[in-house]
Structure 1
Amino acid sequence: HQMKDKHYGNTDFYTFIQNEIELIKSARTKGTIDNYRNLINKMKEWKPILTFQEITLDYIQRFHDYEIKTGNQLSTIYKKHANFKFLIGLAVDKEKIAKNPYDKFEIKKITKAQNNDILTEEELQKLQHAYDNNTYTGGKKEVLREFLFSCYTSLSYAEFDNVTYGDLKPVTIKSKSDENQKEETTITTHYLLCNERKKTNVMYKIPIISKTVEQLLEREVTIKTKKGEEHKDKESFQKIFSPLTNQPTNRYLKEIMKDQHINKTMTFHRARHTFRTIAARRGIHDGIAERIMGHAEGNDIKDIYTHLHDEDIVREMKDKWIV
């Protein structure tokens, strides 16, 4: 008996792409794979069967118009286009489609400049005050802790589940002062939180240079003994944060904003926008901000900041932005 390939000769794009998604599953993050599947499911609602021949520039334009009529924001629509372009690319690679119609369709990057995107330093202080006063408990307190940490450091939501106390690397800084014509060298130790971003496999290096940020790490654990309370550092393998899933995180975040009378539409990702904007206002060098954020651009060999020393990153933040 000849072996039968159930996918051979199939003209339905959905059947083909669901099989392809399975093949690339291990090479992409769960969030990315979920986005691909959600996109295909949404498309099926609009067009239950889609042949390879039907995937044309006209089809993409009609999909675009449909998404607008459905009431989706342009930024969301263009993210869907980027995912669809990638999936069509898989069909092109397997010679199911001759050319990717997205070659003639511009995927715009919508960057909203409204202040609704980011928090001001005053608003951050208000949230920090609520955290310090233990206004919230349980999951809501953890969400606020992580959100503040991300605003101060740019750590992305996907990374919170990964970082352990072992990812904190000590960096020694020497600084000279020339008071009364006597040169003195002061040595201080700070920590860099270092790991690879799951999304880009690019190393981020986050300097921990202020007491406020240090306290959000909750590095000490208090043990009650017969003699009294003892403080000791947590073990290196222990996770620093206990993140909730996406939905409760963003729900709690919206509730916290409402409680604190911050009238802005907030999602967790806005914390990274907040960090980037404040860093720019404070004059933090672009190359250093990119390295802290673990951006792929910062890994470009042409970028002269690729070979930054850890001390340079710590000094820059210490000089220009201590929370």
Structure 2
Amino acid sequence: MSPNISVNFILEGTKAKKDGTYPIKLNVYNKQAGQKRYGTKLSATKDGWEKLDTPRLRDDDLKELKIQLAGIRQKAIETIDSLPFFSFTAFEDIFFEPEKNIATTAGSLQVLFDAYVASLKKNGQIGTAISYNTTINSINDFKKGMTIFDITPKRLLDYENHLKSKGNSISTIGIYMRQLRAVVNKAIEDKIFPQESYPFKKYQIPAGRNIKKALSNEELKKILSHTPDENNQQKALAFWKLSYFCNGMNFTDIIHLERKSYDGKFFHFFREKTKRTKKKDLRPIRVAVNEAARNIIEQYKCKDNSTPYLFPILEPGLSNLTIKHRCQRFIKWVNKYMEEIRVELKFEKSLTTYAARHSFTTILIRKGVAMSFVKESLGHTSVITTENYVGDFEDETKIEYANLLNLK
């Protein structure tokens, strides 16, 4: 057993049981993880406890107690010695449920992911929880039953190559790897995995350049002036335009808007994506609402004044999972009818909800608006994230800039 770990017993002498004895606790101490005590179902009087370590113990009951304690201590030591790296969670799993296989408990990636997903769900981050489940399923497809101690730089590269062979994009691979890294970081924080074995020091997560979803100026003119004949297309396009006109507002945020978030001139709200994850420096988004956006709001806002929501998509009392499904269904519904419009207008680029957000960003940047303003409008914490939304400059602009080089 490591010299950094000790196993002994203490008599909790503060409150006696009905028979006058006191509980005996198993005390496990680890230099890095700290100390925890566990009940043994054994007890002794204070006098008997003091006699336990005498060389010639004559009391048969105390002799039996001493043998039982020795057995418990030996089991604890053997459990600790069986662990690749000590953590109280892994120790408890094996010590109290010896029928469990060490490989499935001591640092099991499945167990660690399950715990991480459970915490995300508890925090209301249903979409992120679903994404982490997808990641662990992918890891199990690569090699089932892995523990965190199997994650090395070479194993990460093998996993990356496995994902490539399955046809996954660089962006998808990056998502899987970043989520695996988050679980490893949490294991280090919980002292389940040693910092010195951190596998991402020598492995670089691949990052692909985002496919630009922004429309050209000409395409935007067409879509903003388009008036569909079909009612579903009209409604889908109206919400698409609302997102575009209102700082490229994310559709999940549109769905969550409350009446109190809108004063007729501005929206003011916290982004759903960040309000559950950021504990400090949480700033509200303030969006100026132009006349076109106001007309859309008036047409499609909820007519039932008893509901707090601005649009009739959610209602009070829904579970986090139901809210997530409602958002997904509405976004899928909008994308379906925007695809019909795309085909009708013969656009090559997609007209998904993301295209509205990316188009807002690109149009302002093309018109010379400061990147810092666009970053704030989108609710981004980093300009780098905002830059990923910006489409390429149009050919006319490139020619105009090239002509600036001519100093005649």
Q: Aligned to 1:127, which of 220, 223, 229?
A: 223
Q: How far did residue 234 of structure 1 move? A: 6.9
In the alignment, is residue 169 of structure 1 matched against residue 250 of structure 2? no
Higher relative contact order, chain-length normalized (CA < 8 Å, sep 6+):
1
* CA–CA distance in structure 2, aligned partners of residues 40 and 281 of structure 1: 41
Counterpart residue number, 2:128: 32
In the alignment, is residue 263 of structure 1 matched against residue 344 of structure 2? no
* CA–CA distance in structure 2, aligned partners of residues 92 and 111 of structure 1: 30
Q: How far did residue 119 of structure 1 move? A: 1.0
* CA–CA distance in structure 2, aligned partners of residues 288 and 272 of structure 1: 15
Counterpart residue number, 1:19: 115
Contact 1:219 1:233 (C-alpha < 8 Å) held by counterparts: no
Contact 2:258 2:310 (C-alpha < 8 Å) held by counterparts: yes
Contact 2:270 2:284 (C-alpha < 8 Å) held by counterparts: yes
Q: Deviations over 1:129-150 (max 9, x none)?
A: 33xx343323x44332222222
Contact 2:301 2:310 (C-alpha < 8 Å) held by counterparts: no
Unmatched 5+ residue regions in structure 2?
1-38, 42-90, 96-101, 276-282, 314-326, 384-408
In the alignment, is residue 144 of structure 1 matched against residue 240 of structure 2? no
Q: How far did residue 204 of structure 1 move? A: 1.4
Contact 2:268 2:287 (C-alpha < 8 Å) held by counterparts: yes
2:295 counterpart letter in structure 1? Q
Q: Aligned to 1:285, which of 349, 370, 374?
A: 370
More helix by share: 2
1:111 counterpart letter in structure 2? R
1:168 counterpart letter in structure 2? Y
Unmatched 5+ residue regions in structure 1?
171-190, 223-231, 299-323
2:269 counterpart letter in structure 1? N
Task: State the TM-score, normalized to the length of structure 1.
Answer: 0.71
Which structure has the larger Rg over C-alpha atoms?
A: 2
* CA–CA distance in structure 1, aligned partners of residues 363 and 307 of structure 2: 31
In the alignment, is residue 194 of structure 1 matched against residue 275 of structure 2? no
Counterpart residue number, 1:216: 296
Q: How many residues align?
A: 263
2:148 counterpart letter in structure 1? F
Q: How far did residue 220 of structure 1 move? A: 8.1
1:268 counterpart letter in structure 2? T
Counterpart residue number, 2:336: 251
* CA–CA distance in structure 2, aligned partners of residues 279 and 163 of structure 1: 24
Task: State the TM-score, normalized to the length of structure 2.
Answer: 0.57
Superposition map of 1:154-165 within 5 A: 154-165=248-259
1:26 to 1:45, Cα distance in 2 relative to 1, 3 A: same
SS in 2 for 1:217: helix
RMSD of the TM alignment (CA)?
Answer: 3.1
1:58 to 1:37, Cα distance in 2 relative to 1, 3 A: same
Counterpart residue number, 2:285: 204
Contact 1:85 1:100 (C-alpha < 8 Å) held by counterparts: no
1:268 to 1:91, Cα distance in 2 relative to 1, 3 A: same
* CA–CA distance in structure 2, aligned partners of residues 219 and 233 of structure 1: 13
* CA–CA distance in structure 2, aligned partners of residues 28 and 236 of structure 1: 21
1:282 counterpart letter in structure 2? K
* CA–CA distance in structure 2, aligned partners of residues 34 and 259 of structure 1: 34
Contact 1:148 1:271 (C-alpha < 8 Å) held by counterparts: yes
Counterpart residue number, 2:205: 107
1:269 to 1:58, Cα distance in 2 relative to 1, 3 A: same
